[in-house]
């Protein structure tokens, strides 16, 4: 019974992901709330990202691409665009993602809302953000503490 529940839940999540991709294709924009911490410190859980449809060749290194994988929507920084696939990585992750094909790309994160502030993501992290990124990539304990403090302060 539990495995059936998981399959239904996964199917429902995949359907939402497909619907989100369709909205971006037809309307050109979509806003989604971020759940994960893979883009710390640039994007925090609870931030609302605005995804805009853009041509694949406009996803240059430093941009944050939104794409579908495994029935979920991901927003990770572009490391390389070779014209046929993207190489991406979450800012708080130590290794690159598997290549992202053009038909999986939804668009680019053009802004995010954090509380009452609207932020346009920079193509590069500040010196302080790079230092945090280094700590987040190398210490699960530090990441857990940062996420716990963020949850308490909201």
Q: How many CB atoms lie within 10 A of CB 12?
A: 11
- Asked if residue 100 lies in contact with residue 85, where contact means CB atoms within 8 angstroms, the answer is yes
Compute the CA torsion angle 88, 92, 93, 97 (nearest 10 deg). Answer: -20
Say how far apart CA 103 and CA 114 lie, in whole Å.
29
Query: Has residue 7 got a pLDDT over 70?
Result: no
| Angle, vertex CA 13, rays to CA 8 and CA 14, nearest 5 | 95
Residue 105 pairs with which residues in a beta bridge? 67
| Out of 2-6, 9-13, 17-21, 120-124, least confident range | 2-6
CATH number at residue 6: 2.10.109.10
Over residues 8-13, the mean pLDDT reads: 54
Residue with tokens 């924009």: 29
- When divided into structural domains, the chain yields a total of 1
Query: Has residue 76 got a pLDDT over 90?
Result: yes
> What residues make up the domain containing 66?
2-153
Global pTM? 0.86
């Amino acid at each position: 019974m539990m495995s059936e529940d998981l399959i239904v839940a996964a199917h429902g999540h995949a359907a939402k992901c497909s619907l989100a991709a369709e909205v971006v294709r037809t309307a050109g924009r979509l806003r989604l709330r971020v759940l994960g911490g893979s883009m710390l410190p640039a994007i925090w859980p609870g931030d609302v990202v605005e995804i805009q449809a853009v041509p694949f060749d406009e996803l240059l290194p430093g941009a944050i691409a939104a794409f579908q994988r495994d029935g979920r929507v991901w927003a990770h920084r572009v490391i390389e665009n070779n014209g046929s696939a993207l190489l991406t990585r979450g800012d708080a992750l130590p290794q690159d993602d598997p290549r992202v094909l053009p038909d999986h790309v939804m668009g680019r994160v053009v802004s995010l809302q954090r509380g009452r502030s609207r932020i346009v993501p920079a193509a590069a992290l500040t010196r302080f953000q790079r230092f945090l990124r280094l700590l987040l990539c190398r210490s699960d304990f530090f990441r857990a503490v940062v996420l716990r403090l963020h949850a308490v302060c909201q």
